[in-house]
Amino acid sequence: MLSNPAAADEGRPQVRPQTEGWTQPTSDDGRPLLQFKQPRVAQPKTHLADLTLSERAAKVKELGLPGFRAKQLSTHYFTHFTSDPEKMTDLPAGQREQLVAEMMPPLLTEVRRLTTDNGDTIKFLWRLFDGALVESVLMRYPGRVTLCVSSQAGCGMNCPFCATGQNGLTRNMSTAEIVEQVVRANEVIASGGLGGLRRDGGHNAERVTNIVFMGMGEPLANYKRVIASVRRMVDPAPEGLGMSARHITVSTVGLVPAINRLAAEGIPVTFALSLHAPDDELRDELIPVNSRWKADEAIDAAYNYFVQTGRRVSIEYALIKDMNDHAWRADLLAKKLNARGRGWVHVNPIPLNPTPGSIWTSSEPDVTDEFINRLNDAGIPTTLRDTRGKEIDGACGQLAAEGDEDEGAEGTVTAGGPGRRPGASESIDLRG
């Protein structure tokens, strides 16, 4: 039997969100600045992954070459994960270099690779054509391989706990830059770079099975390119990677019009709302975009996603000690979710790392249990998720910030940031 929330919360303080080691940019009215427009608009040269198969064929013909070369190139890229002309022996030797130069310009340069969890987790730091840095994290689980991808360089959502948002939005990533993260991860897996050999032999049959858009950036703020990248992931080979849309999770802090647009898109991706607080009083401070679309509007949009697609949605909730983990908030969240209907949602509380001295630290175990039990008892399926990559860094975006530091770039992120960014923790696999 659960205690009443007043008793469970007795003596608990209310910690308010605030940045640590950096100052949140604010607008003239003193509210955290939201940045939807990208200051740097230059995109990389068009890559075949930006195009549909017929668009690729048209471009190859423009180069004066037969259209079917597009299909061959696409097979090399999406099935064999290679952009190396030397390996494309089915193409005429005299045309390979030109085809690759025109259709597959280099997109991601690997800057750093960090491995943990006995080789089952790899975090990549990539440099884009214009020097911007982004990350992706590859995780092997029993029966599946998950890649957490970035969708923007930086982020304009200005969440006070997040390393990625500290320098604002640099630019949207292109469709092909998003897709290339998957292709490069597949290349690493195929070469045996992720963990030990499987019992049934080599790695050839293995590839990324699940995608989570929880790396750098707010995916729905880069809507068009993110959706095009999802299509490319789902398109059967050789047009794309032939992945299952259900195994692709698109997550957002709550850009309501874009959630509704996604619901009407007709691609059955898994949808995740990073809520982190059911009450506007706290969420206004924790997730600045809440000043634009309130918690109830975001929950309505998530519910609409379920109604439109029939896909059960995930609510992400990072449990932060004495900030959002009170029993009354679990009850309020359950009430708001149940008010919309039953069976449409599950909640994923995300455990933070313990970060001594920081306000962004993990909830006590008994508080975590109480929070989860209250939701479950109210009929909301709630599962604490496993975390990965804890030894690699504390927060998504931190590696990119360190990369900046190495190169003496301006505007580096100062140490002492949050233990883990609740908005988009790369170490969380939502697929359960």
Give contact residues for ligand SF4 (rule: CB under 6 A): 155, 157-159, 162, 164-165, 216-218, 253, 421, 423-424
Q: Is 370 annotated in the active site?
A: no
Task: Select which of 102, 135, 206, 402 is catalytic.
Answer: 135
Cβ distance to ligand SF4 smaller for residue 121 or 158: 158
Nearer to ligand SF4 by Cβ, of 213 and 303: the residue is 213
Least separation in angstroms between residue 224's CB and ligand SF4 is 18
- In the complex, the smallest distance separating the C-beta of residue 292 from ligand SF4, rounded to whole angstroms, is 13
Q: Is 251 annotated as a binding residue?
A: yes
Instruction: CB nearer to ligand SF4: give 253 or 359.
Output: 253
217 is known to lie in a ligand binding site: yes
148 is catalytic: no
Phi, psi of 403 (to 5 degrees): -60, -40
274 annotated ligand-binding residue: yes
> Least CB distance from residue 159 to ligand SF4, whole Å?
3
- Residue of 102, 180, 285, 396 marked catalytic: 396
Any binding-site annotation on 276? Answer: yes
Q: Which is nearer to ligand SF4, 83 or 427 (CB)?
A: 427
Nearest distance, CB of residue 152 and ligand SF4, angstroms: 8
Mind telling me the catalytic residues? 135, 396
Binding-site entries for S-adenosyl-L-methionine:
217-218, 251, 274-276, 353
Binding-site entries:
155, 159, 162, 217-218, 251, 274-276, 353
Binding-site entries for [4Fe-4S] cluster:
155, 159, 162
